[in-house]
Amino acid sequence: MSHPTTRILALLELLQAHHRLTGADLAQRLDVDERTIRRYATRLAELGIPVQADRGRYGGYHLLPGYKLPPLMFTDEEAVAVVLGLLAGARLGLSTAAPAVDSALAKVQRVLPAQLRERTAAVREALDFTLAPREARAPGTGTLLVLGEATSRRRRVRLTYRSYQGQDSERELDPYGLVFHHGRWYVTGHDHHRADLRTFRLDRIGEATITEHTFTPPAEFNPVQHVTQSLAGVPYAWEVQVTLHTTLDEARKRIPASTATLTDTEDGVLLRTRAERLDGMAMMLAGLGWSFRIHHPAELKEEVRSHAARLVAASEH
């Protein structure tokens, strides 16, 4: 955004999106000094756009109340950013509704100049991903918006929830944060029903309503860390403990926090996790490429031996 005209248009967009912004704030956002902001505002006024500048401690720049601007055209950079963002969101399963991506792309294409529309369409057709599409469990758009607002305003929500076992319950939750992880949306916070920190999948939430109760989240609470640790502790059938003969840094590069808990020890890295199937755990351990020692369960040792035998048999064909 180096060209002055681009920055002037960006200034206009910021003033349209915000009630009032100070010169210092605008200068920081546009990476210029405040004198340049004054010059840009003067230029907009010369073009007939009513930008008002107020002096004093609470002064700043704003558009004349009631003035509405027509939609602005996208620059090449903005158009590409929007199109790529929509395509990536659909690929990752980030969208709440699949038709919304296609309809949004169609609307963006309609407002672009002919040449830019053709070029972005060409990028869309030519683009491919190394990442496989996520089979996402999309939450309701209304649910996501309610929880986003409640988290931002620090308001308790009342919601209905269906567990993975199909049991319905009503909860009151202080939402500390929203997290998107591996194709699924989660909300984490204080569950008053259990009087504890809990994590809920948004696609299992029925109704969600903001209440008048406010809350203060714990200092330095990390929603991403809490969600990934919660997922690592999901009560699958087998509890597994294995020492990996590698360093903690190397283990963290290969094993996601949502898969297992990793602890540095004198003998290596202690991996704690749970698994529904031990044959899958044996394949995972073999694929890491490190030697290891199985502490628990004993049945995992037999699964590792069986997996090794299958590999030997396959290599002899």
Please identify which residue in the block is written with the tokens 């100070």.
Answer: 22
Q: 137-192 pLDDT, tens per residue?
A: 678 888 999 999 999 999 999 999 988 778 889 999 999 999 988 778 899 999 99
* pLDDT at residue 134, as a whole number: 63
Residue 58 has pLDDT above 70, yes or no: no
Whether residue 154 contacts residue 215, with contact meaning beta carbons closer than 8 Å, is answered with: yes
Going by pLDDT thresholds of 50, 70 and 90, the confidence category of residue 230 is confident
* pLDDT at residue 217, as a whole number: 92
Whether residue 142 contacts residue 210, with contact meaning beta carbons closer than 8 Å, is answered with: no
What is d(CA 170, CA 74) in angstroms, rounded to the nearest whole number? 45
* pLDDT at residue 156, as a whole number: 96
| Averaged confidence pLDDT in the chain | 85
* pLDDT at residue 89, as a whole number: 82
Q: Is the pTM of this model over 0.75?
A: no
Please give the structure tokens belonging to residue 254: 């290969």
* pLDDT at residue 57, as a whole number: 65
Q: 255-289 pLDDT, tens per residue?
A: 887 778 899 999 999 999 888 788 889 999 999 98
Residue 2 has pLDDT above 60, yes or no: no
What is d(CA 255, CA 259) in angstroms, rounded to the nearest whole number? 7
Residue 62 has pLDDT above 90, yes or no: no
Q: Which range has the worst mean pLDDT, 34-43, 107-116, 140-149, 236-245?
A: 107-116
The DSSP code sequence of 182-204 is TTEEEEEEEETTTTEEEEEEGGG
Residue 316 has pLDDT above 90, yes or no: no
What is d(CA 137, CA 202) in angstroms, rounded to the nearest whole number? 9
Mean predicted confidence (pLDDT) in 107-130: 83
Mean predicted confidence (pLDDT) in 117-126: 86
What is d(CA 313, CA 317) in angstroms, rounded to the nearest whole number? 7
